[in-house]
Amino acid sequence: MRAPDKTSKRLARHKSRVLELLQQRMPSSQARHEPLLEHVVLSLEGAPLGTQSFAAGHDALECLRAVVVLEDILFEVLEQEEPLTPEERSGLRTACCALRDAALELVQSREEQLRGAAVKSEERYLTVTRTTGFAVWDWDLKDAKLHWSYSVESLLGHPIDALSSLVAWLDYVHAADRDRVESGLREALEGGRSSWSDSFRFLRRDGTYSTVLARGWILHDAAGSATRVVGGLNDVTEQRRLERELKQQQLLTQAVAENAASCLFMVDAGGVTTYLNPAASAVTGYRLEDLRGKLLHDVLHPKYPDGSQFPVEACEVHRPKASARDHECVFLRSDGTEFSVSCSVMPLSTGEVGAVIEFRDITRQKAQHQQLVDAVQGRDEFLAVASHELRTPLTALQLQLQLVTHGPLAETLDERVKGRLGRAEQSLGRLVELVNELLDVSKLRAGRIDLEPKLIDGAAVVREVVQRLTPSLRDVGSELALNVPERSEGHWDRTRFDQVFTNLYSNAIKYGDGKPIEVEVTGDDGWLVLSVRDHGIGIALADQARIFERFERAVSERHYGGFGLGLWIVKRIVGAMGGTIKVESTPGDGSRFEVRLPRRHGVAP
């Protein structure tokens, strides 16, 4: 019974020497060998052996080898000190055997575990490839065998066997890519690199090509030679197609933006500039470097043209989430000068990724518009002056004629001369009317309508005008039905009231085609309603809004004279008096004009 005890004691004493020798003989092992020795000692002392803890840090095979080497060392060290008795020798061998059995057991169980894990991972790969298009390969350089995960079948259609060597595999690589792939792989292997990757076309079993991405990790032996390459392969056809499309889209967008005549800015969701096209750069003088990280608003118009602060919250342009169209504002160039623009804001994906701002320099248009406004104003001023200047000689001419026809001289005239002078007076009356129209237009254009409201009887004015135009009515042969109350009072400018009705009534006579005309004055406490109805040629629906415009006439000017200003003037005057005018008409059945005038408007005296 003493012997084993003695052996174990001796081993404990030589512990450091034993471990030193073990380390020398297994230089590549990183594990701690001390637990192995302790197990032998415990085993010699008759303690039961635990199975796991002695193998800490070893892989199973390494552990087994260490146990074998350790056995040799133990005998060597002990025999060297003092020869072992046969009992001692047998005891030590038994202890070592037990340890070796335990190590073997460990190796076996590890292998089983690995096998199970391999099956599991293969299942996992299959599932993964079905959903993501991924296969795993393992190329053993010693036997030149290429192993594939089963997923390659679903990925490329080929059975595993068809791809079981590099040569077979390379056969399926597109001819145009093959040399590159082969030489790339060889260079990686011979150059001692740890990985390789390439993307190429691969012939599928169905005869079409897939674009694949292959990546491999190269394993080396202790001498540095490549022994094995393990890798993955996935189908990136769709990905590459999307990338290509995206690239094309980007190129297209870029080409459009870079060559566009209109100026473009892009801002992110926070209103910071991310892009400007060459047109925008040329117009504003900014480059992207000048704008990077800054709010576009702060660069383009931090202030209103009058110099006051322009808060970013009030800016139509700086709202990546709200669109704006043809918004007019003033931008600053990089040199500090201002220019007018018309700009539109288009939010991208409702502003989450920012907005595109498109603008045009409208300085020239604005100048042209101003020129046009000036020209129109000049014309109106000319009209005003011309019509005014024409009035003086017209007055003289009219008075001279009337001195003859209305004064005592008339009695001395022969009837034929009177007749001629009467015709001359009519033409002159028409001329006066036209000059008055011109003057009205120039006044109305300038927004100067002089109204002198006084309490007057509108019914009386209507009767007066009817009386005055009786000769014209008689000339065309129309019958007049006059439905006017005895009085209808209101605060109106008598001359303008007269002018409005005269215009409508004379139109009815002119365009009434000799058919009956109805004139009616109605209304209530607040309003007077004047209606003039004829049964003549009428006005087409499309023309009904137009007739109130200047120089518009619904009929050919060959048939009817005048400038076509009458209704435009009437509408303006009625508007200035606070009233409204409307027309109802059926072509061929005449028109009905209705004017509604408030009996008191604004601050009438």
Is residue 400 close enough to count as binding another protein by CB under 8 A? yes
Nearest Cα to 95, choosing from 2, 3, 1, 4? Answer: 4
Is residue 411 close enough to count as binding another protein by CB under 8 A? no
β-pair partners for 188: none
Give residue 382's region: left, alpha or beta (phi > 0; psi -120 to 50): alpha
Closer CB to another protein, residue 236 or residue 394? 394
* Neighbour tally for 130: CB within 10 Å: 12
| 408 backbone dihedrals φ, ψ, rounded to 5° | -60, -25
Nearest Cα to 97, choosing from 68, 58, 76, 74? Answer: 68
Closer CB to another protein, residue 98 or residue 451? 451
The burial class, CB within 10 Å (0-12 / 13-18 / 19+), for 131 is exposed
Whether 10 and 81 have beta carbons less than 8 Å apart is answered as yes
Q: How many residues bind another protein (CB under 8 A)?
A: 21
Cα 48 to Cα 38, 45, 93, 457, 476, distances in angstroms: 12, 9, 16, 135, 141
DSSP one-letter string for 349-361: GGGTT-EEEEEEE
Compute the distance between CA of residue 360 and CA of residue 136 in angstroms, rounded to an integer: 57
Closest approach, Cβ 448 to another protein, in A, equals 10
H helices present in 446-514, as ranges:
458-468, 470-476, 494-511
Is residue 403 close enough to count as binding another protein by CB under 8 A? yes
Is residue 455 close enough to count as binding another protein by CB under 8 A? no
Is residue 605 close enough to count as binding another protein by CB under 8 A? no
Compute the distance between CA of residue 570 and CA of residue 565 in angstroms, rounded to an integer: 9
Specify the stretch interacting with another protein by CB under 8 A; choose among 3-11, 70-78, 335-343, 389-397: 389-397
Closest approach, Cβ 479 to another protein, in A, equals 28
Is residue 439 close enough to count as binding another protein by CB under 8 A? yes
The terminus-to-terminus CA distance of the chain in angstroms comes to 143
Is residue 270 close enough to count as binding another protein by CB under 8 A? no
Of 399, 481, 482, 545, the one binding another protein by CB under 8 A: 399
Closest approach, Cβ 432 to another protein, in A, equals 5
Closest approach, Cβ 416 to another protein, in A, equals 21
Is residue 25 close enough to count as binding another protein by CB under 8 A? no
Is residue 188 close enough to count as binding another protein by CB under 8 A? no
Closest approach, Cβ 470 to another protein, in A, equals 16
Specify the stretch interacting with another protein by CB under 8 A; choose among 277-285, 332-340, 349-357, 384-392: 384-392
Residues 487-516 that bind another protein (CB under 8 A): 495
Is residue 386 close enough to count as binding another protein by CB under 8 A? no
Compute the distance between CA of residue 162 and CA of residue 254 in angstroms, rounded to an integer: 46
Is residue 413 close enough to count as binding another protein by CB under 8 A? no
Of 144, 256, 367, 409, the one binding another protein by CB under 8 A: 409
Is residue 27 close enough to count as binding another protein by CB under 8 A? no
Is residue 577 close enough to count as binding another protein by CB under 8 A? no
Tally the residues of the chain.
605
Closest approach, Cβ 490 to another protein, in A, equals 20
Is residue 393 close enough to count as binding another protein by CB under 8 A? yes
Is residue 484 close enough to count as binding another protein by CB under 8 A? no
Whether 376 and 447 have beta carbons less than 8 Å apart is answered as no
Is residue 215 close enough to count as binding another protein by CB under 8 A? no
Binding-site ranges for another protein (CB under 8 A): 388, 391-396, 398-400, 402-403, 406-409, 432, 439, 450, 452, 495
